[in-house]
Amino acid sequence: MPNIATVLKEEILRLARKEARNETSALKKASAQYRRDIAALKRQVTDLQRRVAPLERQVLRNAPSQTAEVDAEHVRFTATGLRSQRQRLGLSAANYGKLVGVTGKTIYSWEQETSRPRKAQVAQIAAVRHLGKREVQARLEQLAGRNQKKSQ
pLDDT in tens, 76-121: 888 888 899 889 999 999 999 988 889 989 999 999 989 999 888 8
Residue 120: domain span: 74-151
Q: Where are the beta strands (DSSP E) in the chain?
A: none
User: Quick one: 62 and 126 in the same domain?
Assistant: no
Task: Among 49, 69, 89, identify where a domain stops.
Answer: 69
DSSP structure class, residue 129? H
CA 81, distance to chain mean position in Å, is: 30
Are 86 and 105 contained in the same domain?
yes
First to last CA, the chain: 77
| Contact indicator for 100, 91 with CB cutoff of 8 Å | no
For the chain, what is the mean pLDDT?
Answer: 85
Q: Using one digit for the tens of pLDDT, what is the confidence trace for 58-86?
A: 887 766 544 445 455 577 888 888 899 88
| Cβ count near 102 (within 10 Å) | 19
Give the number of domains in the chain: 2
